[in-house]
Structure 1
C-alpha cells in the first residue's frame, strides 16, 4: 500500500466511483458528494500518483457477441509443475490464470470459446489430462457475471478493514427470510450484431476507458460522433456492462473463489455475500450454480471459514479455491479469435491440441 493516507473525503470519492461508475466526471461527483470539483480533481490526482487509483476499464460481456467463457481448474501432476505455467501462456483462448489451492491444486484459468463450439474447452482439458499434464480438472461455464461495488466505508488507513465477521451469521438469518435474491444477471442473453471495429473499440476500452473520443477515433479511423454512437449502442445492448476503476491493494492479499450449488434458484443465501465490503465478483453457470470470487485479508481467512459454517446447511454442495498472484497473458487476446472474413469466431481447438502435444513430447 502506498504511503498516502486515505481520509474521509478520499473514501467518499472511491465509494462514489465504485457505486456510480468510474466514468463519472468531477462535476457529477461534486453533485453527488457536495465536495468542490477542484478538491475532487486534486484527490484523484494524488490517489493516481500513489497507485491507489489506476486507469478505469470497461466491463464487457462477450457472450452477447457469441463468445462464451469457462473457468477451468486444473489439478496438476508433480512433473508438470513448471511446464503447465508455460503451456497456459501459449494457449490462444486462455487470458487469465493463477496458481490455486483447494479441492484442486494447480491453476485456475479463464478460457474463451465460440458458443457454436461449446465442447472446445472440455476437449482441450481432456487432452491435457490424456498427456499427463493434469490429473483432473473442473469446468465452470460462466454464463453471466456481476461485479459488486466495494464498500470503502469499512476501510480506514490505520486499521485497514474494520468488517466484523461476527455480524455475518445475523445477516445470513435476515436473508433467509426472503423469497429469493436476484442479482442483475441474465440467464439467456440475446446475441447482438457487431463488426471488427466494435471489437477494436472494446479492446481499447478494456485497456483504458479514459481514452478520449478523439484518441479512439484515430485508432479506428472514425469520427468522434461515430465512436460515441458505437459506445452508446454497446452500452445499451449490454455488451459494455459498465466501467470500473482498477484500485490498488487494500490489504486483500487472499483471493477466494467459492463454488456453490444452491438448493433452489436464486436462493436468498446469495444476498449475504453482497453484504461483504470486499471486492466481489459473482459469476453464474445456472440459477443454482455460482462462483463467488472475493478478496480479503489473509489474516481473516479463519474468521471467514468460521462464519461460513452458518451457510453450509443451506447449500447443496460447495468447494473453495484460493488464488495467488493472478496474471493476465501479455494482452487480452480473445478478440484475436475473430475471423473478419468469415465474420465469426474461429476454432482454435486443433491449435491447442497441437501445442499440448508439443509440450508433452518435450518431456
Structure 2
C-alpha cells in the first residue's frame, strides 16, 4: 500500500464500507475512477477484505456473554468437544492470562438470562473448570482505524510516550469519550423475513439488493425498506471492510472496571490508531480487544501502568486460535414458528453428560 491507498482505506473505515467511490473521491479530492481502481486492486491482492455487516442482536432479544474459564487438565481435554456440540457456545479459543483455559462467546435469549451461568456451574460441578469470569456484552463498537498512521513493512507510526502522558491528562481533566456505547436498549419488533435478510447479509456483505430480493422472495422495494429500518433501529450498526496489514500480532482482550470519574481511560483507548473493538457491560465495566505487534506491547502496557490507579479491577486474556462452532451466525438459532431464540441451557445439559460418558 502507498500513501494514497492508506488515505482511501482510512476514509473507508471512517465513513463506512457502503460509502460510494464518488463520495470517497469527493472527500479525498481523488477522482472516483482512481478510488474504484485502487479498491479493486486492494481486494484482488487480498489486502482489503470484502464488506461485512455489523449487527446488534441484543435489540432483537438475543444477548451475548463472554465466558473466561480456568480449566483443569481434564477440562482442557474435554471442553472443546462440548463447545463444538453446544450451539449457544458459538465460538471459542484457548486463552492465557489471568485465567488459563478457554475464552468462549455464549448466546442467550434475554428471556433466559442464566443460560451461561448454568453451563459454567455444570462445568464446575464436573471438575472441568476451577474458576470463571463472566462478562455480559450490552453493547460494542468496532473503532475507526487511522491507516494514515500506518507504515507498510514497519508498523504503526505512533508515539507511545505521548499517548501514556495523555492517559493521565485525560483522566485528570475528566475528558469525556466520544463513544456511542449504551448499556440499555429497547427491544425492536422484527419477524422471520428480517432474520432472513440479516443472514444473507452476514453470509455476503457485498450482496446486491436485487440478489437479496431473489433469495428472500421479496421485491427490491420491500428489501430496501426493511434494510433501511434495520439500520435506523441500530440492529445493523454499520458496515466494515477489514484491512490486512501483514503484521504479525497477538490478539488480547483487556477487561476492566473503572473507578469513579475515570472516563478518561475510555477516551485514551479510543485515541489508539489501529483497529480495536470496545465492549461494554455497564457504565463502569468495559473491555477492549486489539492486536499488537511485539514492538508495541511495551508502549501499550506503559499506558496501562498510568491507568491502573484508576481501575477497580482488570485482567488480560489472549485469543490465539479462534474456532467457530456454528456454521454461519447466531441468527440461525431463531425459531420462526415460536418467534423465540432457542438457547435454553436445559436443551444442552445432556450433551455435557454424553461427552463425559464417551470418556469412560
SS at match of 1:356: helix
Equivalents in 2 of 1:124, 1:255: separation in Å?
26
SS at match of 2:187: coil
Give the drift of 1:330. 4.5
Aligned with 2:182 (options 181, 186, 191): 186
Provide Cα deviations, 1:195-241, integer angstroms capped at 9, x if missing partner: 11111111121222210001111110001111010000000001001
Within a 5 Å distance, the mapping from 1:24-173 to structure 2 comes to: 24-173=19-168
Provide Cα deviations, 1:31-76, integer angstroms capped at 9, x if missing partner: 1111111211111111111211111111100110001100111221
Within a 5 Å distance, the mapping from 1:1-363 to structure 2 comes to: 6-176=1-171, 177-178=173-174, 180-181=176-177, 183-251=179-247, 253-264=249-260, 267-363=263-359
**Do the aligned residues in 1 keep the contact of 2:177 with 2:270 (CA within 8 Å)?**
no
Q: 1:135 to 1:203 in 2, by over 3 A?
A: same
Moved more, 159-168 or 283-292: 159-168
**Do the aligned residues in 1 keep the contact of 2:94 with 2:101 (CA within 8 Å)?**
yes
Give the drift of 1:22. 0.6
SS at match of 1:290: strand
Equivalents in 1 of 2:323, 2:16: separation in Å?
24
Equivalents in 2 of 1:252, 1:118: separation in Å?
38
Q: 1:312 to 1:116 in 2, by over 3 A?
A: same
**Do the aligned residues in 2 keep the contact of 1:265 with 1:288 (CA within 8 Å)?**
no
**Do the aligned residues in 2 keep the contact of 1:21 with 1:244 (CA within 8 Å)?**
yes
Provide Cα deviations, 1:54-101, integer angstroms capped at 9, x if missing partner: 111111001100011001112211123243222212211122222211
Give the drift of 1:242. 0.5
Give the drift of 1:266. 6.8
Give the drift of 1:179. 5.0
The number of aligned residues is 358
Give the drift of 1:348. 3.2
Give the drift of 1:9. 0.8
**Do the aligned residues in 1 keep the contact of 2:88 with 2:343 (CA within 8 Å)?**
no
Alignment RMSD (CA, Å): 1.6
Equivalents in 2 of 1:122, 1:167: separation in Å?
42
**Do the aligned residues in 2 keep the contact of 1:160 with 1:250 (CA within 8 Å)?**
no
Look up the match of 1:3.
none
Q: 1:294 to 1:136 in 2, by over 3 A?
A: same
